[in-house]
Structure 1
Amino acid sequence: MKNIFKKYIPAPHTITEHRWISKLGPKIKDPNLWHLNRRSVSYGILAGTFCAFIPLPIQIFFAIFACFFIRGNLPVAVASTWISNPFTYLPLYFFCYEVGAWLWGFPVDSTGKPIQIQFDLILSDFQLFIHQLGNLGWKAMGPLLLGCFIVGTLTAVGCFIVIRVLWRVHIYRAWNHRREKRFNKKKW
């Protein structure tokens, strides 16, 4: 399992010597942030996957700072933030909004009715259309953030558990393979 990650992750010195990354100080050169083991990779996945659901374009920086505190693998965390990318933003955040709206309640106007956007106003009364869109945007922010937190937490914990289990299965199989090899060697 370690070899799979080593194959795609660049060497730590090539990253830490980059002019922008070196500004993070000596903490970025901590060997625990670059070490490939079950603990660091699973915590890197945890940090990166959770930060992928933050509806801001600076998710990678949040993942880096999370790795400083939980000692996760930095390259794995940065790579796992790409769960949300320009191709997946719309379905991902729509799903998060739906989860948040289901838990929180749909955004409603002052009369208690769900807010509806009248798209036919784009041509006739653009200012009213923008007002409706802005009204929906502020009222939809609560359910979106709640949904992102819930879905991000569940996804991050699920990925954390899957990585831990897969790594353990890989180790178990490697032990069995070595044991069989020793047993077959002794037979001859």
Structure 2
Amino acid sequence: MPKKFIRRYLPDHNKVKTNKSLKMFGSLLHDPNLWHLNRRSAKGAFAIGLFFAFWPVPFQMVFAAALAIPFRVNLPLSVAAVWITNPLTMPPIYYSAYLLGSTVLGTEMTDFKFQLSWTWLSESITTIGPAFVVGCAICSVVFAAIGYFGLDWVWKSSVARAWRKRAHAKRVNKD
């Protein structure tokens, strides 16, 4: 079940290989292990993608691909998992990370109004920046671990359910 579900939503590996931003990896993308979908490669790829999803930097997909290659996990899944943070989900996720970081650091939460300017960004790095970065780091590690072990559990449960279903079907057919 998870394999079929994941495969349905993964992009075609030829499209990923020809992606302009991934051209820098060259022939490394031709390793067949990067395209296999099994429990080990899926849980590792999902963890890598979730880890980089919480990094507030551009080109998260490139970072996910750069880590997926040496770990030899499913490249399309690691790149796709980064999109958990997208323009729609970024504001609540990053605000929650800021709140978490403020709580962990014990700093007072500052009211701020976002402005798309270098001045606002340079001032914010010193005021809300440390709490935001700590919150993002905690979220990266925690959600990567949850994704890794959660997908492993879902995969194992699905396989066990399929085996039970198959065994039941054999008993019914025997009778």
How far 1:116 moved relative to its partner? 6.2
Larger Rg: 1
In the alignment, structure 1 residue 175 sits paired with structure 2 residue 172: no
Give percent identity, aligned residues only. Answer: 30
Structure 2: 5+ residue stretches without partners: 114-118
State the distance in 1 between where 2:66 and 2:7 align: 22
Residue 173 of structure 2 aligns to which amino acid in structure 1? K
What are the superposed Cα offsets for residues 66-118 of structure 1, whole Å, 9 maximum, x if unpaired? 111222211111111111111122111111111111112326xxxxxx7666x
How far 1:162 moved relative to its partner? 1.2
Superposed counterparts of 1:1-188, under 5 Å: 1-18=2-19, 20-106=21-107, 134-187=122-175
How far 1:18 moved relative to its partner? 4.5
What are the superposed Cα offsets for residues 118-155 of structure 1, whole Å, 9 maximum, x if unpaired? x8xxxxxxxxxx68x74343232111111101011111
Normalization by structure 1: what TM-score? Answer: 0.80
Structure 1: 5+ residue stretches without partners: 108-113, 120-129
State the distance in 1 between where 2:137 and 2:51 align: 8
How far 1:31 moved relative to its partner? 1.1
- CA RMSD in angstroms comes to 2.3
Residue 172 of structure 1 aligns to which amino acid in structure 2? A
DSSP 3-state at the match of 1:25:
helix
State the distance in 1 between where 2:110 and 2:5 align: 49
CA contact (8 A) 1:67 1:73 kept: yes
How far 1:19 moved relative to its partner? 5.3
Provide the aligned length of Structure 1 versus Structure 2. 169
Normalization by structure 2: what TM-score? Answer: 0.85
CA contact (8 A) 2:16 2:76 kept: no
CA contact (8 A) 1:44 1:76 kept: yes
What are the superposed Cα offsets for residues 38-71 of structure 1, whole Å, 9 maximum, x if unpaired? 1111111100001000011211111111111222
Relative distance call for 1:17 and 1:61 in structure 2 (3 A) is closer
CA contact (8 A) 1:49 1:156 kept: yes
Relative distance call for 1:115 and 1:39 in structure 2 (3 A) is closer
State the distance in 2 between where 1:5 and 1:22 align: 24
CA contact (8 A) 2:51 2:141 kept: yes
Partner of 2:116: none
Relative distance call for 1:91 and 1:149 in structure 2 (3 A) is same
